[in-house]
Each structure stands twice: as C-alpha cells, then as structure tokens.
A = this chain, B = another copy of it.
Amino acid sequence: MSMQLTFLGTGTSVGVPVIGCDCAVCRGPDPKDKRLRCSVHIQTPETAWVVDTGPDFRAQCLRGNIRRIDAAIFTHSHMDHVTGFDELRRFTVEDGHFMPIHATPECLAALERMFIHAFNGENRYRGYLKPFPKAIHGPFRLGGTTITPLPVQHGKVDTIGFIFERDGKKLCAYIPDCKTVLPDSMEALNGVDTLIIDALRHTPHPTHMNFEEALAVQREIRPRQTWFTHIQCEIMHALEDPRLPPGVNIAYDGLKLAWA
C-alpha cells in the first residue's frame, strides 16, 4: 500500500442531516446519508495528513480513531473547511512539535485572523496548537508524495484542489469545492487514476458543481474511478448511486480508497 485515503466527511456546508430539516434523507436511517463536513485523511508509509479541518474535525478523529497527523493542508477558508482548526492541538501536544499548515496565502491569512491565539506566539502552553504556516505557491512534497495545487473557481474565495502523485503516478485528485475547473487544472488532471469531485446535487448552484457538471469533467478526464463528494440532502445515496455511469459513485463518510 503506497497511499490510503479515508473520507472523514462528504457533506455540504451544513452537513446531513440538516438542523431543522425533516426530509426523507435527513430523517432516514441509511448511514451513507449521514454526512459530516468534507475532509479526507491520507496515510502513506512515511507520513499522514488531513485535508481541511471543518466543524466536525474532533468527531471525525474520534470516529476514525486517528492517532497521527503530521500536517494539515487546506482547500479554502470557508467555514465548513476551517472551524475545526484549533482541534489540531491534540496532534501538537509534544513540546517543540509544530504542525505544518499548507494553504494559499489568502487561506493562511484567514486562518491567522480566526485563530490568532495559535499563530501569535504568545500562547505557548502545553496542549495549545502550535501551527507552522507554509504558503502554497506551487507543488510541494509531504514524504514521498508530490502535492500539486489545482486552482478552481468556487465563488469569491481563492480555492484549490490537490493532485497526490507518487513515483510519477497521479494517484488521486481531490476537489471538494468547485464550480469550474480552470483549463490549466483540467490539463493537470490528465492521466489521474482517481477523481474525487464536488457534486452537490442535481439542481444547479452558483458556486458548486451539480451532478451534470461533475460528470462533464469526468467524461473529459476519464479516470479509472470517480467519487462524488460535498453532497446535499437532496441526494439519497441508495437511490442516486445506482443511476450513475460505470466507474462513478457517491462517496460516503468512512469510505477508504487505497493504491498499491
């Protein structure tokens, strides 16, 4: 196993079930329709990292029994991707252990504004988060993995996806929040084995792809497998998953993907 990816969450910004919503999906029993906010944990033989730390980060770590995170990388600074940031503190309890935080300069600025107590150096108590900001300006490495940022369009905020590449193979692209994949990013996706992409619902949305838009990207890239994420309660897994083309499925919390 060279890389394993675990979906910590596959839900839209308010999660599924939605507070106060009585729809069949929100009130239904299927665990595949219980969606915490979007995040993935990636384990390689050398190192482990998380992509985004949304509001459910603690619950996700407990559910997945996550004991090791060596770095955190971020797609963008929307609330459903960052408000769990401070809970990374449990992974920097050791003295002198700083957590590398990889994000665009705009996203780092938002994290520093929100979590000023962690970044300002004035609170070096044992148990407090000790972040080490690392601005993303292009591909970077975590252990033996090359991580290439993919600029995408997603409303007003600077947003990126990531390609994870090992031994020259593009194992996986992760693009959880996206309305349009820009041409250079489409070219970078060429040859990727696995595509994980924003597919909110059927109805169009101003800042997220719907199923039709996500399928258009899938048809152009032709990955071996495609997984939809960032799913809203309009989508019932048991009903919608069987209707997708071969090789395309709806991800769900806890799903693991592995590459040899």
Contact = CB atoms under 8 A, between A and B. Distances in A.
Which of A56, A61, A86, A89 is most buried by chain B, counting CB atoms within 10 A of its CB?
Answer: A86
Interface string A1-27: 000000000000011011110000000
Contact of A84 (B18, B55, B61, B93): B55
Nearest to A114: B114
A6 to B, nearest CB: 15
A58 B15 contact: yes
Contacts of A84: 55, 83
A62 interface: yes
Given A83-B84, A113-B113, A114-B114, A18 B90 contact: yes
A33 to B, nearest CB: 13
B55 A87 contact: yes
Interface in A151-187: none
A238 interface: no
A14 to B, nearest CB: 6
Contacts of A258: none
Interface of A: 14-15, 17-20, 55-59, 61-62, 66-67, 79, 83-84, 86-87, 89-91, 93, 113-117, 127
In the A-B complex, the 9 residue pairs with the closest CB atoms: A19-B90, A79-B86, A114-B114, A19-B61, A83-B83, A20-B90, A20-B67, A15-B58, A17-B62
Given A14-B58, A14-B87, A15-B58, 7 more contacts: A14-B89, A18-B90, A55-B57, A79-B115, A79-B117, A113-B113, A114-B114
